[in-house]
Amino acid sequence: MRHPWWSTLRTVAGISAVTVLLAAVAYGLFLYVRSADFYDYAKCGTRGWINSPHELDAELGFRAAPGKTGEEFYAVGPNIVSRISRDGFRIPVGAPDTVPTQRPLVLSLGCSFAFGSSTLAEENYAYLFAAGLHGTALNAGVSSYGLSHMLLRARKLIPHYKPDIVIFQYAPWLVDRSFGYAPTYFAKLPGPYFYRAADGGLRLHGPFYLSQTFDVKLDSYRDCRKSLWDRLHFFATVAAPLLVTQDARELATRYGMLRGTIPVPVRDRMAVLQAAYTEIERLCRENGASLFVLALDNPDTLDDAAVRQEKDWLAAHFKERFVDTRPVLAAYAEAHHQTPRLLFTLMREGKQMDGHPNALAHRLYAEALARAYAAQATPPPAQ
């Protein structure tokens, strides 16, 4: 005769097995639903990279891959080629890949706006501004970067190259991207972030984990012919492995925060903003560089209260070295009786292909920088 505990054990084991099975099925369905947008992007995405010129980096999460060339594609028209030099800067496709020596050196740090997404390297504001000074642009902008990425790059590049001029971008999303994640077309892309140290100051911490985003290959799926078999194959070979690994790493990250082994990101926008721009100012001063803060954002929208507060602080702190391009673009659009979206973004066949600044916008940015630089270089009138 079997003991009662044996029956109880069998019952518990059976219930546990069913529970695990149901949980696995539910999680599988959850993954499949989450993969729908990812599949649609892979099949019919109208914007993205072919041979993305980015790679993983332990400190930054990701970076521009030295020596690599990639192409941005769109729904209509030709791709736009981007080439990265062996030193990690964006350069024109036909330019020599050598360490720049022609001074003044102009170091530009920022996100895709600074990188010049959807424009040629020679149309970029840093390139145009440096050319006007008969100098060399060091374009260290990288798509999806935030203030935390920019500051880490500045810590290495400014002491190494001793640039004459540093252009450090401002945009409201740069602050958002310093909370632990960078934007991407799919999946999660962790990056460095600010945390509060024991002494109360802000410090930079590395990414929670390295994303698999750049390991995903979508070229074989890039056509709009969909089928159930194709969707299932994509789910099994691409989406599910990526999402399961990501979920496991996200769970480990949250557990680490609860235990206190992983610092929690600071989400105080003004604290992050002031920490980043105060340090970049110090780095420039210690290395003999003139700093200009270039505000780039969308002139189609109005600044909200947080953005106005951030711009007011930057303007008060940097004075004439804070260059807000919104009024510049707005005035140009008004003078030409056009909406900023039509004038300053990539338009093809009457449709917007991308929301990044186009060549005209970059030219106006460069002219605004040139005016600010000239004002600083001109001595005040004698009293």
Positive/negative CA dihedral, 124, 126, 132, 134? negative
* Neighbouring C-beta atoms of residue 234, cutoff 10 Å: 20
CATH number for domain 87-208+262-376, candidates 3.40.50.261, 3.40.50.1110, 1.10.10.60, 1.10.10.10: 3.40.50.1110
Judge whether 111 and 141 are in contact, CB under 8 Å. yes
Per-residue confidence (pLDDT) for residue 256, from 0 to 100? 96
pLDDT of 46 above 50:
yes
The residues, any chain, with a CB within 8 Å of residue 22's CB and separated by 6 or more, are none
Banded pLDDT at 383 (limits 50, 70, 90): very low
Model confidence, pTM: 0.90
Say which amino acid occupies 90. Answer: R
Section 57-84 average pLDDT: 93
108-156 pLDDT, tens per residue?
999 999 999 999 999 999 999 999 999 999 999 999 999 999 999 999 9
Judge whether 64 and 52 are in contact, CB under 8 Å. no
Banded pLDDT at 380 (limits 50, 70, 90): very low
DSSP state string for 143-182: TT--HHHHHHHHHHHHHHH--SEEEEEE-HHHHHTTEEEE
Per-residue confidence (pLDDT) for residue 25, from 0 to 100? 75
Helix (H) or strand (E) holding 192: strand 189-196
Banded pLDDT at 4 (limits 50, 70, 90): low
The values of phi and psi at residue 162, to 5°, are 50, 55
Helix (H) or strand (E) holding 205: strand 202-205
